[in-house]
Structure formats: C-alpha cells, structure tokens
Structure 1
Amino acid sequence: MEARDVDSEIEIHFDITGRSTTEGKMFDMQSFFSDRLRQIRQMMIVGRSLPRRPISNSEAWRNRQRYSSTDYEVTLVGLVSETRWARSGNFNFVIEDETMQIRCSLKPPSGASNLHPALDGLMNDDVVGVSGHFLIGERNPLFLANDIHMPPLGRHSKATASEDEAVSAAFLSDVHVGSKTFLAPQWEKMIEWFRTDPLARTVKYFVLSGDGVDGVGIYPGQQRHLAITDLFNQYGELARLLEGLPDWVDLMILPGNHDAVRPAEPQPALDPEIQQDYSDAVFVGNPCDFSLHGVRILSYHGKSIDDFVAGLRSITYSTPELAMKAMLERRHLAPSWGGKTPLSPEPEDRMVISTVPDIFVTGHVHGHYAGNYKGTTMIHSSTWQDQTDYQRMLGFQPKPCILTVVNLHTHATASIPFA
C-alpha cells in the first residue's frame, strides 16, 4: 500500500487547545478531583470491577459497628493519599471521597505478585476501590482492607484501518533540536530511509510526541549545552529538518516539557507564531486523543513517568513500559498532584483515560519500547538525543534514533534503528 495513494483521515477526539477554562482557584481544584473520582468510580461500577456496589465513606463510618466483621464487609471508592509501609509489612494509606477520609491498612496477600499494590505501592491521588471491614478498638477505627480494586481494563479489541487504507504511522519523540547532543548524522540517515525504503512508502503519518526542541531556560546551566541558544531558531531548525520528510507524510506535533507552552498538563498546542514555520503540520496539545483511519491513538509526552518511577517500586527509567501499563491500569495518565508533573485543575480531569486506546504512545525518558498490553499496542518513542551529562551521572543509557512504525491495518510494528 502506497501512502501517497491514500487520503488523510485524522479525527481529533480531545485536545485542550483553546478549551482550558480553569482559573486555578480552590473551586477548580475541588471540581478537578471530584470529576476524576466520579469518572473512574463510574467505570468501576459499569465495568463490574467491584465485588459489590460501593457506599460513601461517611455512610460506612456511621455504620462502622455493623461493618466490623468479615461477615459484613463493605466497599469504598476514593482518592489515595499518605501511603506508607508499616513495620509489620502492611501497606497503610488514606482513602477519601466527597464526604470524608478513612485510614486503611492492607496486609499483602500470600503469594502476591510484586506488582500487587500492597507490595508495589499506590500513587498519591489514585482512584481505587477497597473492600474490607473496620477494626474497632481504643484508637480511631481502622479499615482493614482485604483487597484493592483498580478500574476495569480487560482485554481490548483493537480497531483496524480497512485493507484499502493499510497505511502506517511512524512515532518519534524528544528530538531536542538545539542541543549539542542532537544526533544530526543519524537524522540524515532517517531522511534517506524515507526516500529509499519500501516500508517508508507505507508511512502516511509521522507523530512527534513532544520535546521537538531542547528549549531555553528549562533547567539550570542549560545554556552551555545548547548549540542553538535562541528558542525561535530552534523551532526554525526543527521545521527545516522535518521538511526532509516526503510530501505524502502528514506530520502531527505535540508539545512536551521542553517546549514553549505552559508546563501544566494538559498542555495546549504550540503558539501560531511558532506554527507558521511549518507548512503542512497538524499541531495538537499534550495529551491528544485522536484517530487515524478509525484507529484510536492516545499520545502523551510522558512527563508523569518521573512520578511513577518515584512512586512505585517496580518502575525504573529503564522500564518506561511498566509506567505505561500502570497508567492504563489506573485509567489515568498523571494521578499525583504536587509531584514532578504540574497539572492544570480543569473543571473536568482530562488526564483520565476515558476510552482505552488501540495505540498508546509516550516519550520523555529517552528509552524505546514496542509491544502489546491487553490488546493495546504500546509505543515508547525513541529520542534523537545522545546521552546527556545528567543521564551519564545517573548511569542511564538512552536508546536513541529508533523510528517505530505501526501498520494501521495489521498493527504490525517495526523498530528501525539509525544509530
């Protein structure tokens, strides 16, 4: 299938650009968390991921004497905070709904996987369900949880493009144009591949998931690492580099935390002043939920991977795919308020994964992964930046210059190395 023979078919389902309404006031924050709780609790009820219909924390508390034995268990749903492990090995946390907070304790089940929340942990502000009963004693009653319930995910059935539209999408992130460690020779190798390789002729879309440029003033001392010190010149050079792509390729560009947009997520698309250097690109916000020929794609730059690395024992910078799985399991891209990922308290929490995507894409940590999780094709897009001083200090080795190509009809993936 030649991509040049197929018309473009892009449908944007959600993009925050021009739709941010928050004023950053207390009311907005209350609305933000209430909406998150409402959305995910409804998923749990409709998806039957709870053993019984949940009741409010206040109702459970009023009837705590009744719910104080294993014969009369109750299910709660709320936002998680104050997570810690006790000396006994129990996992303690607070769960809060619209009515009140309740302290909970969970003993790790015998034979539990290391990924079980009692051993791996929970993220602050996760929405989870808990089942159990109250322990009534001299101190404040404690809710003894016997299980934690995550939102439903199940086995996803992918949508596919029709056989006569069996084109491909290519995914890349973190190009970091302007940095001294941008890998220019390898970029030219990729452009040559687009001109000569048969697979390249199937590529209809090129999705750049944030950090197209290195930016200016992103971190202390960045200036000495820049080959291009002017922000607009960085974007101009990125535009020049992308002009090397064949004319049949449609370009989609999201921002990331190095880009010239607000840091709070969801982030709007790059400003029109920057867009004018790009003749045929579709600029969208971060994250963006869109479809290509009916295939639903959720593209997110991935800043919250920093929080997942800090918050869950199982996740490291070398395993970003585990953070992506955790996002899908939570049905949320960035749950933790006040962590490493700035969040905008919109009246509706737009970081909730309301629809399970056919393809889920992130970047940010300069790794690479292509695989499948419960029916969703997961892509952690590669970078085009060599190892930085900071990564060298951490002992982290990036996986640069790998273009991931996904056939939208078969969902077959190919990882093309240019390093």
Structure 2
Amino acid sequence: MEARDVDSEIEIHFDITGRSTTEGKMFDMQSFFSDRLRQIRQMMIVGRSLPRRPISNSEAWRNRQRYSSTDYEVTLVGLVSETRWARSGNFNFVIEDETMQIRCSLKPPSGASNLHPALDGLMNDDVVGVSGHFPIGERNPLFLANDIHMPPLGRHSKATASEDEAVSAAFLSDVHVGSKTFLAPQWEKMIEWFRTDPLARTVKYFVLSGDGVDGVGIYPGQQRHLAITDLFNQYGELARLLEGLPDWVDLMILPGNHDAVRPAEPQPALDPEIQQDYSDAVFVGNPCDFSLHGVRILSYHGKSIDDFVAGLRSITYSTPELAMKAMLERRHLAPSWGGKTPLSPEPEDRMVISTVPDIFVTGHVHGHYAGNYKGTTMIHSSTWQDQTDYQRMLGFQPKPCILTVVNLHTHATASIPFA
C-alpha cells in the first residue's frame, strides 16, 4: 500500500498540553495518589485479579481477630513503600490506602519465578493487592501476606488498520541534534532509504518519541559536548533534517527530558515558538495516547526506565523491554514519586495505563527492541547518537541508527539498520 494514496487518520486520546491544572500543593498530591489508587483498584476488581473483594486497611485492622489465620484471610489494596528484604529472605513492605498504613511481610513462594515481586521487588508507589492474615497478639499493624496481586493484564487482542489502509508507522527517539555525537552521515543514509526503498513508500507516519535535540544545560559540563550551543539553533537544525522526509510522511513529535519543556511528567508539547520552524508536524505531549487508523498507540519517552533499573532486580539498561513489560504489568508508566522521574501531581494520575495499547513505544536509554508482549507490539526506539562519555564510563553500548517500521494492518515489524 502506497502511503501517498492514503489520507491521514490521527486521533489523540490523551495529551496533557493545555490541560495541566495542578498548583503543586499538598491537596494536588493527595488527589493524584488517591486517583491512582482508585483507578487501579477498580481495574483489579473489574478484572477479577483479586481472590476476594478488598476491604480498607482500617477495617481489616479493626477486625484483625477475625482475620488471624490462613483459614480466614483478607485482601487489601494500596500503595507500596519502604520495600526491603529481611535476612530471612522475606520481602517486607508497607501498603497504604486512604485509611492507614500496614506493614506486610511475604515469604517468597516455593518455586517462584525470579520475576515474582517477592524476589524481584516492587516499585515505590506501586498499587498492588495483598492477601493474608494478621498474627495473633501483634499490637502494631503487621500483615503476613501469602501473595501479591498485580493489576489485570490478559492477552490483548490488537486492533488493525483496514486492508485498504495498510500503511506503516516508523518509530525513532533520542536524535540528540546539537550533540557532537549526533550521527549525521547515518541520517543521510536513512533519508536516501526513504527516497528509494519500497518499504519506505508504505510509511505514512514518523513518530519521534522525545529528545529530538540534546538541549542546553541539561547536565553539568554539557557545553563541551555540544556542536550547536544555542537551543533554538538545535531545533532549527532538527527541522532542517526532518524536511528530508518525503512529503507523504506525517510527523509526530513528543518531548523528552532533554527538550525545552518542564521536566515533570506528563510533559506538554514543545512551545509554539519552537513549532513554527516545522511544517506540517503534529506536536503532542509526553506521554501521548493516540490512534492511527484505529490502532491504539501509547508513546512515552521512557524517563522512568531509570527508576525501574534502580528499583527492580531483573531490569538493566541493556534490557529496556523488561522495564516496558513491568510498566504494562502494573498498568503505570512511572509509579515512583521522588525518584529519578519528576512527576506533576495532577488531580487525575494520567500516567496510569487505563487502556492497554496495541503498540507501546518508549525510548530514552538508547537501546533497541521490537517484539510482542501479551498481544501488545512493543517498540523501544533506537537513538541517533553515538556512545557518550557517560555511557563509555558505565560500559554501556548503545544501539544507534535503527529505524523501526510497523505495518498497521498486519503488525509486522521491520528494524532497518543504518549504522
């Protein structure tokens, strides 16, 4: 299917741009976490991921004599904090709902997978369910959990574009124009591919998931790593580079942590003063939930991968797809407050994954992945920046210059290398 023969069909389901209402006060923070708890608890109840209907922490504690053995268990749902492993190997944490906090202790089940929360850990501010009982005679709230329940994530049935709209979407992130390590020759190879390759003629959409430029003042000493030291000139050069794409390609641009927007997520779209250099681009916030020809796509720059690497034993920077799976499993893009990912305390927590996407896209850590998880096509978009000094110090090798192309009718993926 030739992309030039198909009309654009973009529907935005959520974008924070122009809709942020928080004042950053304590009330906003309370509303933010209360809404998260309400949303995910309701998912658990409706999705039947709990063994019984949950009750409040205070009601459970008040009736602890009734729930004092494995024969009379109770289920709680709340926000997680203070996670640690005891010398015994038990996983200890606090669970909090609107009424009170309760300390929990879970012995890892025999034969449990390394990905089980008792062995892998939980993120601060995850919303989970726990089943168990209270030990007799305990004066302080202590709950002996026998299992942890995550939000429901069944096998997803993907939507597809119709056969007469069988166009493709291309995904890229972290171009970092302005950096001395931006890979300009490889960019020209990609532009040439768009002019000559048959697959390129099917590409109707080009989604850039943040960090289009390297920015200015993002980290100490950045100036010495910049080939373009003026922020507006960086965006001007990115606009010039993107003009090389064929006229049948529609461009969508999200911000990332290097872009000229607030760092707190969800982030609004780039400022109109920056947008004016770009012709016919669609600017959206980060994250953005949108559909292309009926195919639901959740694009998120991926800053919280830093927190998942720090918080869960199984995740490393070389396996960003495991962080993406963890986001889907907990139905949240960035659960941890006060970590490496700044969050904006909106009255509604819009980082909750309320609808399971057909395609889930991230970037940020300069890896690459294309695969499937429980029916969702997962793309970790490649970068266009060579190894940085910081990455070299960590021994991390990026996977640059790979364009990921997904057919919206068949969901077939192709990873095109240009390095």
- If the TM-score is normalised by the length of the shorter chain, which range does it land in? over 0.9
Secondary structure of the 2:134 match is strand
Q: Distance in 2 between matches of 1:321 and 1:136?
A: 43
| Residue 327 (structure 1) shift | 0.1
1:148-207 residue CA offsets vs partner (Å, 9 max, x unmatched): 000001000000000000000000000000000000000000000000000000000000
Secondary structure of the 1:170 match is strand
Q: Distance in 2 between matches of 1:67 and 1:138?
A: 12
1:308-362 residue CA offsets vs partner (Å, 9 max, x unmatched): 0000000000000000000000000000000000000000000000000000000
| Residue 108 (structure 1) shift | 0.2
Q: Which residue matches 2:13?
A: 13
Q: Which residue matches 2:159?
A: 159
Q: Which residue matches 1:265?
A: 265
Secondary structure of the 2:128 match is strand
Kindly indicate whether the alpha-carbon contact (under 8 Å) linking 1:369 and 1:380 is maintained by their aligned counterparts in 2. Answer: yes
Kindly indicate whether the alpha-carbon contact (under 8 Å) linking 1:266 and 1:285 is maintained by their aligned counterparts in 2. Answer: yes
Kindly indicate whether the alpha-carbon contact (under 8 Å) linking 1:290 and 1:298 is maintained by their aligned counterparts in 2. Answer: yes
Secondary structure of the 1:291 match is strand
Secondary structure of the 1:185 match is helix
Q: Distance in 1 between matches of 2:394 and 2:154?
A: 36
Q: Distance in 2 between matches of 1:391 and 1:113?
A: 31
- What's the TM-score, normalizing by structure 1? 1.00
Secondary structure of the 2:308 match is helix
1:344-401 residue CA offsets vs partner (Å, 9 max, x unmatched): 0000000000000000000000000000000000000000000000000000000000
Q: Which residue matches 1:392?
A: 392
| Residue 282 (structure 1) shift | 0.0
Kindly indicate whether the alpha-carbon contact (under 8 Å) linking 1:135 and 1:141 is maintained by their aligned counterparts in 2. Answer: no
Q: Distance in 2 between matches of 1:138 and 1:155?
A: 41
Q: Distance in 2 between matches of 1:136 and 1:59?
A: 16
| Residue 142 (structure 1) shift | 1.5
Q: Distance in 2 between matches of 1:383 and 1:135?
A: 52
| Residue 136 (structure 1) shift | 2.6
Q: Which residue matches 1:243?
A: 243
Secondary structure of the 2:357 match is coil
Kindly indicate whether the alpha-carbon contact (under 8 Å) linking 1:136 and 1:142 is maintained by their aligned counterparts in 2. Answer: no
Q: Distance in 1 between matches of 2:331 and 2:244?
A: 37
Kindly indicate whether the alpha-carbon contact (under 8 Å) linking 1:14 and 1:289 is maintained by their aligned counterparts in 2. Answer: yes
1:115-156 residue CA offsets vs partner (Å, 9 max, x unmatched): 000000000000000000001335524201000000001000
Kindly indicate whether the alpha-carbon contact (under 8 Å) linking 1:298 and 1:360 is maintained by their aligned counterparts in 2. Answer: yes
Kindly indicate whether the alpha-carbon contact (under 8 Å) linking 1:57 and 1:76 is maintained by their aligned counterparts in 2. Answer: yes
Gaps of 5+ in 1: none
Q: Distance in 2 between matches of 1:300 and 1:39?
A: 20
| Residue 271 (structure 1) shift | 0.2
Q: Distance in 1 between matches of 2:299 and 2:279?
A: 22
Q: Distance in 1 between matches of 2:45 and 2:366?
A: 37
Q: Distance in 2 between matches of 1:208 and 1:270?
A: 13
Kindly indicate whether the alpha-carbon contact (under 8 Å) linking 1:173 and 1:381 is maintained by their aligned counterparts in 2. Answer: yes
Secondary structure of the 1:189 match is helix
Secondary structure of the 1:79 match is strand
Q: Distance in 2 between matches of 1:180 and 1:418?
A: 18
Q: Distance in 2 between matches of 1:317 and 1:139?
A: 43
Q: Distance in 2 between matches of 1:314 and 1:172?
A: 26
Q: Distance in 1 between matches of 2:22 and 2:140?
A: 38
Q: Which residue matches 2:146?
A: 146
Q: Distance in 2 between matches of 1:68 and 1:116?
A: 25
Q: How does 1:223-302 map to 2 (within 5 A)?
A: 223-302=223-302
Q: Distance in 2 between matches of 1:55 and 1:374?
A: 30
1:197-256 residue CA offsets vs partner (Å, 9 max, x unmatched): 000000000000000000000000000000000000000000000000000000000000
Q: Distance in 2 between matches of 1:70 and 1:391?
A: 50
1:27-64 residue CA offsets vs partner (Å, 9 max, x unmatched): 00000000000000000000000000000000001001
Q: Distance in 1 between matches of 2:135 and 2:327?
A: 32
Q: CA RMSD in A?
A: 0.5
| Residue 75 (structure 1) shift | 0.2
Q: Distance in 1 between matches of 2:252 and 2:62?
A: 53
Q: Distance in 2 between matches of 1:186 and 1:392?
A: 21
Kindly indicate whether the alpha-carbon contact (under 8 Å) linking 1:75 and 1:131 is maintained by their aligned counterparts in 2. Answer: yes
Answering whether residue 204 of structure 2 is matched by residue 207 of structure 1, we say: no
Q: Distance in 2 between matches of 1:145 and 1:237?
A: 56
Residues 162/69 of structure 1: CA separation in 2 closer, same or farther (3 Å cut): same
Q: Distance in 2 between matches of 1:83 and 1:257?
A: 27
Kindly indicate whether the alpha-carbon contact (under 8 Å) linking 1:302 and 1:363 is maintained by their aligned counterparts in 2. Answer: yes
Residues 201/265 of structure 1: CA separation in 2 closer, same or farther (3 Å cut): same
The farther-off stretch of 364-373 and 131-140 is 131-140
Gaps of 5+ in 2: none
